[in-house]
Structure 1
Amino acid sequence: MATHTAPVPAAAARCFDFDVIVLGAGIMGSCTAHAAVSRGARVLLLERLDLLHGLGSSHGESRTIRDAYPDARYPPMVRLASRLWADAEAESGRRVLTPTPLLLMGPRSNTSVIAAARNAGTEEVDVAARWGGAFRLPDGWVAAVSEHGSGVLHATGAVKMFQDLAVHKGAVVRDNAEVVEIRKGPEGGVAVRTSTGEEFHGAKCVVTVGAWTRRLIKSAAGVELPIQPLHTLVLYWRIKPGREGELTAEAGFPTFSSYCDPLYVYSTPSLERPGMIKINYHGGPPCDPDDRDLVSGGGDVVERVARWIDEFMPGHVETAGGPVDQLPCMYSMTPDEDFVIDFLGGEFGQDVVVGAGFSGHGFKMGPAVGMILAEMALDGEARTAAEAGVELGHFRINRFEGNPMGNAKDQ
């Protein structure tokens, strides 16, 4: 994979405190800071809360990585990210990815599961023979497995890995620094102001503030991005006695996705919590990121997942009494569930780059998104993405102009 290292213009070095100011230190911002500082840029990474806090979208013990997508636009980005995950692990000497098989399940009539299986190059499998009756699938369902490109990422550990790599290369990282204003700088570039009155000046700014994006972009540029925060719950369920060893990553149990309209249920094998398995529903009710019920604000998510388990995994996972633990998380949803990766435009032109709306499926692509955002900020284009076959046209802000559903009109 080619690496581009263009020098930072001398004018930028004279006029600004930093070449790139990154707002938001979740997975996207941390990866962006690492990518930019790796190219020799002077980088400031600002986080509104504590580093590695649990109130956004990047915390927790596990996320899946998979290249099985119904939309062909995503697998190239996942594959680029997979290479960058491996590079970061090698650079840091840490392991944050546990490879596992990937299982896709759904009615044979469901076009999404068929397209996802095709795009990932999966093969049909007899789940009863492969996993000892852990799953009970209805007649007419298809099950397909992939043995490559999938696994479980340690979420908080991954964010810390990229932050530590960025700091080691010279990036400045500040937490408890909530940015309340973005404006054009007096000598060009961008000025950002925090809630405590501090100001920082950068040649470029990258906004990766997750569920807080809509509010910040509206105040900065008057642009209304249709990004809705959703409150969701990470659910851990008790494995039935005697079955604990069967559902572990060590035993080869897969991450899985169940396409069952209107439900999309996903899971990771038993890994971070012995005797428990994480099984979740994709979605949740709308929320205010600063005012939400962290314990029971997930609507009927628990009931939906329990019903799925009782139907599909009744002999292996216990639902009586509900999940053993439920932890808060947030999605930042666009109407079409596609990302926003674009220049802000307007008076800011190409000086502000926005990475947002990752809609509950972006974490796995963090390193690729970070490289794309850094290259857009520093070069005005994302050449590495283009070389990897990643098409960014679907992620432009202007797709919502006169069309509130964005890319959903094409589906």
Structure 2
Amino acid sequence: MSHHIVIGAGLAGAAAAYSLTARDEDVTVVERHTPANDRGSSHGSARIFRYAYPDRLYTELVVRARELWDDLEAKSGAELITPTGAVDFGDARHVDLLAEIFEDVGVEYEVLDPERAVERWPQFAFDTDVLWHPDAGVIDAETTVTTMLERAVDTGRARILSDWTVAEVTRRSAGGFRVTSGKGDIVEGDRVIVAAGGWLPDLLGDLGLPEGFLDALPRFEVRQEQAFHMPYRDAGEVGRLTTPWPTFIHKSGEMFTYGLPGGRDAGFAGQKLAQFNGGEVIRSALDQDGQITGQMRARMIDYAKRNLPGLIPEPYAETTCLFTNTPNEDFVIDEVNGLVIVSACSGHGAKFAPLLGEFAADLAMGAGEVPDRFRVSGVSS
């Protein structure tokens, strides 16, 4: 039995703690604020769960992740993914490729021409073929984090330390690690898993990583994304729509837009939408200011007017969220000398949460396999 230190209590960190305690391992989770806090990438009730990727690997991983989601929901008695289905469209969304991958992997889907799609979903203005997959939904990220951490703690093998800012990770001469906080508090353990999200770029130099590993890491770019909740025209009684809204991804030319039912975050009264990677680039999470720009607000209002007739194009709630991107949008999940880095990033990691926990636990315990694309080439232990 080993003692593992997990840095970060967002979706990836909570999943790692959950997976490790399920294997009878001891865990200390350290979090600079509070679990699933609104300064990171795992807060609130609205993240998209979808299978549609123009990349077979990710679709296959979603299928694997869904089995783990189902198991977590069954064991906890909590609904963590609300079924909504999803539509993908736009002349740059590669509907034919998505359908081909679904066919190969065995994901249920349907392709509709614009006219048939508008008949089914009159709240959209479709101008291309539309891919529909009914098993998509909306993840309650905050409840997922809370559920996984509660189950980890209930085993008696985990503790959560909030308001605990990591200042340094060093190796002990006798083996294992010492993690020191900004206040001088110390936690010691055999393995460390770093799941720090937007704080990772600021932490990298304090982890004692080998120079070759650091040099091989991709460049991490943190963006402060901006999302807008706009009210449904046919909402009537709050939360009861005459025409249900799926999640959507619309990719046309240079504009990549996504949307989903806003859920608890905005009173169940509207759709949350944003331009993917349209936010300001910042050095790390330390530099976020939580501000919405007038330019982005105007852009999304214009988008809703042109493409979403089922919405009143007037934001009634606005929020920011951090995306931590790699140049090719692949994840980084790797281990070197007992220290595991988990950056399931680029704005699409939430749906894989329980699988990320399995990957992190596998690496920490020297078991299992992580896709080679997520490993740092040539320098892993």
Check if 1:335 corresponds to 2:335.
no
Inter-CA distance 299–337: structure 2 relative to 1 (3 Å threshold): farther
**One of 389, 392, 397 as aligned partner of 2:376:** 397
Equivalent-residue separation in structure 1 for 2:255 and 2:320 (angstroms): 19
AA in 2 matched with 1:381: A
Inter-CA distance 246–325: structure 2 relative to 1 (3 Å threshold): closer
Q: Is the 8 A contact 1:243 1:316 kept in 2?
A: no
Identity of aligned residues (%): 27
Check if 1:190 corresponds to 2:182.
no
Check if 1:116 corresponds to 2:98.
yes
SS of aligned partner of 1:74: helix
SS of aligned partner of 2:78: coil
SS of aligned partner of 1:290: helix
Mapping for residues 3-402 of structure 1, pairs under 5 Å: 8=1, 19-107=3-91, 110=92, 112-121=94-103, 122-125=109-112, 126-131=116-121, 133-138=122-127, 141-148=128-135, 150-170=136-156, 171-220=158-207, 221=209, 223=214, 225=217, 226-240=219-233, 242=234, 251-269=243-261, 271-272=263-264, 273-283=267-277, 284-287=279-282, 288-296=284-292, 300-313=295-308, 315-319=309-313, 322-343=314-335, 345=336, 349=337, 351-378=338-365, 380-383=366-369, 392-398=371-377
- What is the CA-CA distance between 1:282 and the residue it aligns to? 0.8
Q: Is the 8 A contact 2:46 2:261 kept in 1?
A: no
Q: Is the 8 A contact 1:337 1:359 kept in 2?
A: yes
Q: State the Cα RMSD in Å.
A: 2.2
Equivalent-residue separation in structure 1 for 2:298 and 2:367 (angstroms): 45
Aligned length: 360
- What is the CA-CA distance between 1:276 and the residue it aligns to? 1.5
User: Given the two structures, how large is their TM-score scaled by the length of structure 2?
Assistant: 0.88
- What is the CA-CA distance between 1:92 and the residue it aligns to? 1.2
AA in 2 matched with 1:69: Y
Residue in 2 that maps onto 1:5: none
- What is the CA-CA distance between 1:270 and the residue it aligns to? 5.7
Q: Which runs of 5+ in 2 are unaligned?
A: 104-108
Q: Is the 8 A contact 1:249 1:269 kept in 2?
A: no
- What is the CA-CA distance between 1:275 and the residue it aligns to? 2.9
Equivalent-residue separation in structure 2 for 1:65 and 1:179 (angstroms): 31
Q: Is the 8 A contact 2:333 2:375 kept in 1?
A: yes
Inter-CA distance 203–270: structure 2 relative to 1 (3 Å threshold): closer
Inter-CA distance 51–398: structure 2 relative to 1 (3 Å threshold): same
Q: Is the 8 A contact 1:113 1:259 kept in 2?
A: no
Equivalent-residue separation in structure 2 for 1:382 and 1:250 (angstroms): 47
AA in 1 matched with 2:373: H
Inter-CA distance 250–369: structure 2 relative to 1 (3 Å threshold): farther
AA in 1 matched with 2:153: V
- What is the CA-CA distance between 1:397 and the residue it aligns to? 2.3
Q: What's the CA shift string for 1:199-222, capped at 9, x where partnerless?
A: 222111100000111221223225
Equivalent-residue separation in structure 2 for 1:52 and 1:228 (angstroms): 21
